[in-house]
Amino acid sequence: MTKNTSQIPNGVMLNAYPDSIGTNLSDIVTLLQKPALKDVFSLFYVLPTFFNSDLDRGFSIIDYNINKELVSQADLDALKELDIMLKFDIVLNHLSVGSPQFKDILKNGDASPYKDFFIDWNNFWKNHTASYKDGVAVPEKQYLDKLFMRKPGLPVLNVLFPDGTERPYWNTFYQKITLQPITLEDIAHLGLSQDDKDHAITLINDTIEAGGILEQLRFRESVQPHKQDVLNIVHKNRSYLGQMDVNANAPEVWDFYDETLRKVASFGCKILRLDAFAYLHKEVGQTNFFNKPGTWTYLERIRQIAEKYDLTLLPEIHSEYGLGLHDEVASEGYQIYDFFFPGLVIHTIETGDNTALTKWATEVVTKGYKTVNMLGCHDGIPVLDLKGIIDKEGNTHQGLLKDQEIEHIIDTILDRGGRVKNIYDPEGNKISYYQVNATFYSALGEDDNKLLLARALQIFMPGIPQVWYLDLFAGKNDYAAADAAGTGGHKEINRTTLTQEDITSGLQKPVVQMQLAMLRLRNTSPAFNGTMAISNNTATEMHITWSNDVNKVVLQANLKTNRFKISYQENGENVIITNE
């Protein structure tokens, strides 16, 4: 762990985009300044639209400068005045195609100082290619089969170089090419008559609008000889969206990381979440997800940079419990995300059986994991993480839940309106479920008592509780936003922007007020700096105590009725928080 870990408060962490409430970060600051929010949060995970980005709601970074449309220095000063510590992301694996580095490549090609900053797919596989498809290398089968795909097809984006050639670049997460309509000005130099120009423009633009294939067009006889010239103009003017994988073998990339960590520290960052770090190290013959020892080598290099700027690292990794990667990361001294907890809570509440949750909580305590846990978040509700695996030798490594129990979670959430995201093989076939997208409130059937019980379980779990702003206000699935965002819009179901009116009315609701009371207790009680004890549990009842020498907080929960009682002493008085 980095040297400043002890400086991180064992309090409650808010999680939101800068514009999740109102129109900018200033509106969130205004909320945090309200008496109702006093002492509720010690930390704030601000999602990466804090920076300049263009895609994936912030996770396609253009640069790590403050997004001045959403954030001001006054906001950061106000958060410091509230004694709220900041957590940010660095997206280690990729940068936007709109980043200064990649734009320089598109402009200057091989003459760019950043020509090695990203990964030329064909060059990476040049000695291990079985064939080419539309100019893109298809790796030999023994290498292709090892790749972990986050979307159908090969993970590439074809970009046009200044010399007119196309080159595919490694692109794990997202890519899109948009052809722009042409104008008279674009083809004025071709020497066509006005009528021929009108013909070419109409045919090209109608085909682009219809999503047709330009190369299959047949122009009138007088224009056909200029077809390739016209197509070259169209392709030269095309625009890109994409998250381009960086080449961590390039020294320039590590200089960039150093500059970025210095910059985020200057903004007040104390905790740095390493998004997509497990995809960073790539090597022929290895998987592209957490290969070893390369991933460990890179993580150690990042840790050494983080220590210079007094940053605590939080590596983000989604993988099956049976792989044990969470245990490996924790054993190296890092804080870890508890991606197992959300699904376990839903399973516990929906089945009325805490066996799996208790087993996991006991493991966290026994092994001394330093975790950040959550219910909902900006992403989905993880389900892949709960799985077991069968290794190459045929040995079975159990998951936290059985496959049929995981399927029950998925089916329950989908029946309540959730959406699902899967992972794929290189041919585009689904090979596994990944996450389910829904608000946590809707995943629980929009039942106030279930949400309150889930929150009670969260604050009594080991680790720092991270609270998604929409969960705090019992947000419901936003189907209109998910549908409007298209095929990749499943995440928008849980990203509704709350207005000031939503906040004002929400603060009057008992389900919100009781959550605030529980979170304030968790954020301020010294008992949670003590030890945890799970005792007298049955499958349907939980009894959890946190205590130190002078303070004690007790949770008693009945999973049959979704009722709970939290008891503690404050100023010599017995206090109870309950939904009974």
How many other C-beta atoms are found inside a 10 Å radius of the C-beta of residue 298?
A: 19
Nearest to residue 278, comparing CAs of 247, 319, 235?
319
**Range 476-485, long-range pairs (CB < 8 A, 24+ positions):** 476/439, 476/441, 476/442, 476/446, 477/416, 477/417, 477/418, 477/438, 477/439, 477/442, 478/439, 479/417, 482/419, 482/437
Residue 425 CA to residue 430 CA, distance in Å, equals 7
Query: Which residues, 6 or more positions from 319, have their beta carbon under 8 angstroms from its beta carbon?
Result: 278, 289, 290, 325, 326, 384, 385
Q: Round to whole Å and give the CA distance between 351 and 560.
A: 9
| Two tokens, residue 363 | 């493991």
User: In 52-140, which residue ranges form alpha helices assigned H by DSSP?
Assistant: 73-81, 100-108, 121-124
Q: Which residues pair with 271 in a beta bridge?
A: 87, 312
575 vs 189, 295, 553, 566, 568, CA distance in Å?
82, 48, 10, 8, 5
Query: What are the distances in angstroms from CA 495 to CA 30, 46, 233, 447, 574?
Result: 20, 14, 39, 19, 38
Characterize the bridge pairing of strands 61-66 and 312-315.
unpaired
Task: Determine which helix (DSSP H) or strand (DSSP E) holds 543, and give its type and residue range.
Answer: strand 541-547
323/398 Cα distance (integer angstroms)? 9
Please check whether residue 93 is in contact with residue 245, taking contact to mean a CB–CB distance below 8 angstroms.
yes
How far, CA to CA in Å, does 473 sit from each of 90, 440, 447, 511, 532?
28, 11, 13, 8, 28
Q: Which two tokens stand for residue 245?
A: 């994988």
In contact, 110 and 66? CB cutoff 8 Å: no
Q: Can you say how many angstroms the Cα of residue 363 is from the centroid of all Cα atoms in its chain?
A: 25
Mutual angle of helices 227-236 and 194-210, in 10-degree steps? 50
User: Looking up tokens 């073998």, which residue turns up?
Assistant: 249
CB of 106 within 8 A of CB of 69?
A: no
Length of the chain: 580
Is there a catalytic annotation at residue 195? no
Q: Which of the following is catalytic: 19, 56, 75, 316?
A: 316
Contact assessment for residue 47 and residue 92, using Cβ atoms and an 8 Å cutoff: no
State how beta strands 85-91 and 43-46 pair: parallel
CA dihedral 339, 37, 58, 439 (to 10 degrees): 50
Tokens representing residue 47 in the block? 């999602």
Among the listed residues 89, 196, 275, 379, the single catalytic one is 275
Q: Is 316 a catalytic residue?
A: yes
Q: Show which residues are catalytic.
A: 275, 316
